[in-house]
């Protein structure tokens, strides 16, 4: 039987699996759209889209964002959203369609990397676990940029990798720290290229804002983000949430679009230093892994995102989208069958998404009021975050390594078609040895 004949059943099975995957993707997204538009009941979770629409109306009326009369708490990466036309129903539909496009690109990327694996299915099922908030925040575009950044590192497209990282930073600021954590994963000869592309992308958006007088608004944005309290969903706020249910003198107050534990004085400084300290430790540890022990771009990115989610003062529900995206990307990059440490992280990621949706939007009010069901939900969520973080560290410490710069440099010479899901591991540059001709019948008899 020829190789092509033998491979035909496997290719047919892969084709069927892909059709099933995209059918599931479509059904879940249509159901999500029904929840967002009110055809099916779901608590309202689209207040951020309302803000985006108000900003769009202000821009269309002649006001320039980030000037003193038009303050925005987001970096300039949000500007393209303000260009969407129409009233709110049309604007929201346009935003959701763009989110679906980003969602589909991530799905396709994961499928091509590892067809029919746990990675792509984890991503496809995420809206069920986390809710339609997946498509109603800017974070799905951050997830797409992160996926693009890592995949471009893998394929040697260094300028595009830097551009993707710059886009992510223009939306949520923190992704710029990936340059530090992943510095050793980038070949030395390509680091300046990635850095220049990242800074150039950021400058291309920031310079026009400064030029039209938006520098005060950029300072306001930084002050706004730096002045936030401990968001209720963070691990650090969990003791205060329980104390609040016993004694209301431990305050939980609305602020910055969330429910927070206010921070003042030395306490505020201390909590503001947790994330930089954790990032410094993660960077030092990543840099210390040399030779065959060097982390892959996927696991280094997963480490950085895990540190940001746990070490930050803010853990909004939509941040879990980043976690799912980078976990799925790391799962897709695993060579061979998944190990127990991989499967544990996949399950823990799903559990984190579920406990997040339980709090927001369903039990947020009960946590704020100190009811027992709210305390139980907050405790389950805090445990889910801690367990997820511990399992990610376990994976990173014991998982895939040996992402040598030479391997990444070799990938830069591959053609795009070499990135297909069924590509053999044999290097594309290896010579092809012709198959020997089939011996004649008398030659076979002579040899026997």
Note the pLDDT of residue 14: 77
Break the chain into its structural domains and give their ranges.
18-406
Would the pLDDT of 134 be above 60? yes
Q: Which two tokens stand for residue 325?
A: 């995206």
- Tokens 């975050």 sit on residue: 385
Mean pLDDT of 397-417: 49
Mean pLDDT of 166-194: 96
Note the pLDDT of residue 248: 74
Helix (H, G, I), strand (E, B) or coil at 365: helix
Would the pLDDT of 358 be above 70? yes
- Give the separation between CA 120 and CA 237, rounded to whole angstroms: 33
Q: Which two tokens stand for residue 401?
A: 């390594």
Percent helix, strand and coil across the chain, each to the nearest 5: 70, 0, 25
Note the pLDDT of residue 410: 44
Mean pLDDT of 337-346: 95
The pTM assigned to this predicted structure is 0.88
Rounded to 10 degrees, what is the CA torsion of 286, 307, 75, 43?
150
Helix (H, G, I), strand (E, B) or coil at 295: strand
Note the pLDDT of residue 294: 85
Pairing mode, strands 230-231 and 258-261: antiparallel
Q: Which two tokens stand for residue 262?
A: 């206010």
Mean pLDDT of 274-291: 93
Return the beta strands (E) in 239-293 as ranges: 253-255, 258-261
Would the pLDDT of 154 be above 60? yes
Note the pLDDT of residue 438: 41
Picking from 70, 97, 61, the residue whose alpha carbon sits closest to that of residue 81 is 97
pLDDT in tens, 26-54: 999 999 999 999 999 999 899 999 999 99
Note the pLDDT of residue 6: 52
Note the pLDDT of residue 228: 93
Q: State which H helix or E strand residue 216 sits in.
A: helix 215-226
Would the pLDDT of 302 be above 80? yes
Note the pLDDT of residue 306: 98
Would the pLDDT of 381 be above 60? yes
pLDDT confidence tier of residue 207, bands split at 50, 70 and 90: very high
pLDDT in tens, 72-119: 999 999 999 999 999 999 999 999 999 999 999 999 999 999 887 899
Mean pLDDT of 363-380: 94
pLDDT confidence tier of residue 22, bands split at 50, 70 and 90: very high
- Tokens 């309290």 sit on residue: 229
Note the pLDDT of residue 291: 76
- Give the separation between CA 320 and CA 355, rounded to whole angstroms: 11
Q: Which two tokens stand for residue 182?
A: 């992943």
Note the pLDDT of residue 399: 61
Q: End-to-end CA distance of the chain: give it in Å, rounded.
A: 22
Other beta carbons within 10 angstroms of residue 148's beta carbon come to 21
pLDDT in tens, 216-263: 999 999 999 999 999 999 999 999 999 998 887 778 889 898 999 999
């Amino acid at each position: 039987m020829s190789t092509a004949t033998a491979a035909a059943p496997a290719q047919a099975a892969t084709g069927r699996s892909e059709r099933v995957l995209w059918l599931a993707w479509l059904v879940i997204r249509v159901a999500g759209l029904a929840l967002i538009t009110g055809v099916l009941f779901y608590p309202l979770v689209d207040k951020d889209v309302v803000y985006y629409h108000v900003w769009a109306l202000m821009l269309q009326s002649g006001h320039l964002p980030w000037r003193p009369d038009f303050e925005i708490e987001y970096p300039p990466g949000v500007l393209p959203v303000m260009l969407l036309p129409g009233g709110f129903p049309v604007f929201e539909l346009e935003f959701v369609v763009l989110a679906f496009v980003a969602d589909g690109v991530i799905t396709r990327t994961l499928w091509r990397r590892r067809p029919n694996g746990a990675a792509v299915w984890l991503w496809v099922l995420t809206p069920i676990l986390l809710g339609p908030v997946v498509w109603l925040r800017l974070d799905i575009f951050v997830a797409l940029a992160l996926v693009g950044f890592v995949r471009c590192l893998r394929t040697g497209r260094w300028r595009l990798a830097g551009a993707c990282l710059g886009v992510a930073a223009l939306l949520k600021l923190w992704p710029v720290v990936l340059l530090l954590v992943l510095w050793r994963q980038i070949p030395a000869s390509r680091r300046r290229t990635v850095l220049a592309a990242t800074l150039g992308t950021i400058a291309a958006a920031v310079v026009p804002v400064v030029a039209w007088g938006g520098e005060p608004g950029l300072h306001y944005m930084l002050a706004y983000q730096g002045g936030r309290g401990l968001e209720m969903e963070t691990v650090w706020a969990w003791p205060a949430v329980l104390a609040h249910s016993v004694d209301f003198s431990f305050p939980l107050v609305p602020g910055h679009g969330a429910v927070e534990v206010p921070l003042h004085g030395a306490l505020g400084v201390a909590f503001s230093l947790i994330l930089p300290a954790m990032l410094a430790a993660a960077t030092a540890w990543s840099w210390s892994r040399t030779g065959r022990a060097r982390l892959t771009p996927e696991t280094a990115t997963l480490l950085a995102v895990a540190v940001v989610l746990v070490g930050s003062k803010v853990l909004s529900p939509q941040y879990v989208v980043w976690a799912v995206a980078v976990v799925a990307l790391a799962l897709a990059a695993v060579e061979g069958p998944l190990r127990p440490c991989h499967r544990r992280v996949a399950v823990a990621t799903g559990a984190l998404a579920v406990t997040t949706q339980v709090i927001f939007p369903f039990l947020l009010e009960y946590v704020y009021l100190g009811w027992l069901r709210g305390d139980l939900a907050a405790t389950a969520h805090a445990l889910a975050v801690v367990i997820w973080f511990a399992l990610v560290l376990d994976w990173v410490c014991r998982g895939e390594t040996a992402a040598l710069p030479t391997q990444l440099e070799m990938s830069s010479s591959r053609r795009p078609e070499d990135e297909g899901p069924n590509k053999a591991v044999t290097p594309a540059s290896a010579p092809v040895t012709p198959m020997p001709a089939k011996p004649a019948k008398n030659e076979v008899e002579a040899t026997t």
